[in-house]
Structures are given as structure tokens and as C-alpha cells.
Structure 1
Amino acid sequence: MAHRRPREHWLWWLTEELRRRGEQALYPQFPAPERPSVDEWVELLHAELAQLGDRERVVVCHSLGCALWLRAARDLPAELRVDRVLLVSPLGAQAFTAENGNEEFRIGGVDREALAAGRVRVVVSATDPYAPVDPRGWSAGVDCDVLPDAGHITPAEGYGPWPGVLDWCLDERTPVAGHAER
């Protein structure tokens, strides 16, 4: 499993749409995606968060990025805490392997209080091959949208432009589960 995002990915689209609307949007490209390092990725995450201004801070993560956030949030300095976090397609235990090069990102459990965000929302697919068997099990206590048949929520499943995630970024009261443009 590579940790690269093609230009067609909804995260690229989201970043460009937010910037087009005048929002500050950062999209860090983490080093060595084929052999990711928790320490290097957390260091870059901290540097990116430090660039955010005083406006509402919203973090959107996908796949391994969710594991990064869950690990980094445990010890995130108070000045880097965020207002909202969206975790899309968090990985299940079976996805953390030496073969995938991401085993050091494995998390044991999720402590709702340690997520370093005021509000957290999770979006999962009922057909994600990398997700927990029961995606709602680990996310108890947070809002969770379950897409019925969206795979790992990537361009291969039609998730390039995704107005639902853009709407949520602009207004947290909007459900994320809105359909992607196909």
C-alpha cells in the first residue's frame, strides 16, 4: 500500500477548492511515503500546524494520515490543538504490516479525550478492505458517517471531487456522507 495521493484524489481537490474560496489550506507531502517514519511525519505535522493562524483550525486526514493524527494527538502541544478533525478511512489493525512499511503507525486504542480537537467526525465505508471490521466500534463517542459502498474512499471508487467533505470543512453541521462527483 503506497501512501501517495494522485492529483485526482479528493484531498488534492479539497485543498484547491478551499484555497479558491480564500481559505488557508495546507496539504503536507510527507517524506518517504513508501517507508514512512512516525517521527519524521509528526515533525512535519507539527510544523504545518504551527503555520495555521488564529482562525478555526480544521484537520482532514485519510487512511494512514488518520493513524498519524491519532498518534500525534496524544502529545500535541496545547498551541497546536485544533478545533475539528475529520478522519476518513482510518486503517484497521490488519493494514499495519512490515510489508506495507507502516507498522510503527499502529495504534492500540482511541482515547476520545486525547484526540487534540474540540470536535471529531469519522467517515468510513462499509466495504473498505483496510478498515476495522466494525468501523463504528473504535469511534465510540464521535460522530461517524458510514458510506455503504465506497471502498477505501479513493479516486478508484469515484472520490475525486467530493462536495460533501468541502461542505463539512466550511460548516461542521453538514453531513460528510454526501456523494462524490462521478
Structure 2
Amino acid sequence: MPRRPTRTVPTVIVPGWNGSGPGHWQTWLGQQLEDAGREVRRPAFADVDHPALEPWLTDLRAALDGLPADGFDVVAHSLGAVLWLHHVAGSTGAPRPARVALVSPPSPALDAVEVAEFFPPPLDVDTVRRGADGTVLIAGDDDQYLPEGIADAYGRPLKMATTVVAGGGHLNTESGYGAWPAMLDWCGRGNLAFF
């Protein structure tokens, strides 16, 4: 059987609150992509432990600067996924990615004073669709930060298909996601579907 071509576009990895430490799948993913010769970018958030919407948006846009329109992917986790929704709602001239994976965005109804300015996130169907050639939503079926589930919280409001990972929790280190081969495989494929 012929080997399928491997996608080699740049990938922007957007971490969430408290960042993606050394054991997190985003850190592992970035290293795997870099080892394969892929360009990887990350926003240079000054303080991942104290999120601030406007500075984080500025840092995200700086990470996107100079990327080819429709020629890169975005992989955002948790609060980083919510940040992406704010980015596309207020985007002015930033390059548009080919694909976006929004992983474990917290509930739009999250009530946490430390990140209150991020919630509720903008959930306009047309805006999100214009923000990338395609976007996929992924979350565990038992995510403590998303009790209503990814379909009810984001999939239905955005009219977007979702991928539910059984027993995935918040798809973070505590849930056992240090290495995540399925995400690496997604980064290497050209299609949008996660599984």
C-alpha cells in the first residue's frame, strides 16, 4: 500500500491557563514536530499563571505574524481554545489557518474570577467558520471543566461536529495525556476529522 503524504505545514501550539509543562501533550507534540523538521510556534505569554485577555491576544497574533494564509495549523488547549475564539471574533488582518483543533475548551459558563474576562467566549457560527478553513472540537466525556459536554457547550452553538474521547478527562497531564499519538497523527494528515 502506498504511504500517504505527510503534512509539513507550520503548527501554532496555544497553551491554556498554567501553560503546558514538560509532561503535557502539547510540549510532547511540539518536540515531536520539531524533531521531524516542522516549524512550531507558541505564543510568548508573559505569565501563563495569570491570564489576561488583551495581552494574550497580542501574543497570539505575534505568533501568527508572517505565517502563510491557509498554510498552517493551530492546536489550542483549554483556555487557549477560548482565546482562539476571541481571536477570530476580533481578528484584523491576521493570517487564517488551514485547520484548527480546539481541545477541551472550558464551559462557556465557567465561573472563575482569575479568567472572568475570557468568559463567556464569543460563539458566532459565521465568525468561527471564517476564522479557518476548518475547525474541529475535541474533549473528554468526563471533563470536569466542561460538565455539559463538548456537543452542548460548543458543538451545537457553533454547528460543528465534535470528537468525544471516552475517559479523557480534561485531556491534560492529570488525565494521562503526556504523549498523545492521535494528535500527532492529526498534525500529519491533511483532512480535518480527528479520528
1:130 CA drift (Å): 0.3
**TM-score normalized by the length of structure 1:** 0.87
User: Deviations 1:67-120 (Å, cap 9, x if unpaired)?
Assistant: 10001111212442211110000110343411xx11100135512221211100
**Which residue of structure 2 aligns with residue 103 of structure 1?**
116
The 8 Å contact of residues 64 and 95 in structure 2, kept in 1 or not, is answered as yes
**Which residue of structure 2 aligns with residue 180 of structure 1?**
none
Question: How far, CA to CA, are the matches of 1:43 and 1:96 in structure 2?
Answer: 24
Would you say 1:9 and 2:13 are equivalent positions?
A: no
Question: How far, CA to CA, are the matches of 1:169 and 1:80 in structure 2?
Answer: 19
Q: 2:179 aligns with which of 140, 161, 174?
A: 161
Q: Which amino acid aligns with 2:166?
A: P
1:134 CA drift (Å): 3.1
1:23 CA drift (Å): 1.2
| Percent identity (aligned) | 28
Q: Which amino acid aligns with 1:93?
A: P
Q: Which amino acid aligns with 1:158?
A: G
TM-aligned CA distance change 1:113 to 1:74, over 3 Å: same
**Which residue of structure 1 aligns with residue 191 of structure 2?**
173
Would you say 1:112 and 2:130 are equivalent positions?
A: no
TM-aligned CA distance change 1:43 to 1:71, over 3 Å: same
**Which residue of structure 2 aligns with residue 76 of structure 1?**
91
User: How many residues of Structure 1 are paired with residues of Structure 2 in the alignment?
Assistant: 175
1:148 CA drift (Å): 1.3
Question: How far, CA to CA, are the matches of 2:149 and 2:180 in structure 1?
Answer: 24
TM-aligned CA distance change 1:159 to 1:29, over 3 Å: farther
**Which residue of structure 1 aligns with residue 60 of structure 2?**
45
Q: Tell me how large the CA RMSD over aligned residues is.
A: 2.1
TM-aligned CA distance change 1:38 to 1:86, over 3 Å: same
Would you say 1:147 and 2:165 are equivalent positions?
A: yes
**TM-score normalized by the length of structure 2:** 0.81
**Which residue of structure 2 aligns with residue 86 of structure 1?**
101
The 8 Å contact of residues 57 and 83 in structure 1, kept in 2 or not, is answered as yes
Q: Which amino acid aligns with 1:21?
A: A
Unaligned runs of 5+ in 2: 1-15
The 8 Å contact of residues 70 and 132 in structure 2, kept in 1 or not, is answered as no
TM-aligned CA distance change 1:68 to 1:172, over 3 Å: same
1:41 CA drift (Å): 0.2
The 8 Å contact of residues 93 and 132 in structure 1, kept in 2 or not, is answered as no
The 8 Å contact of residues 99 and 192 in structure 2, kept in 1 or not, is answered as no
Question: How far, CA to CA, are the matches of 1:16 and 1:48 in structure 2?
Answer: 17
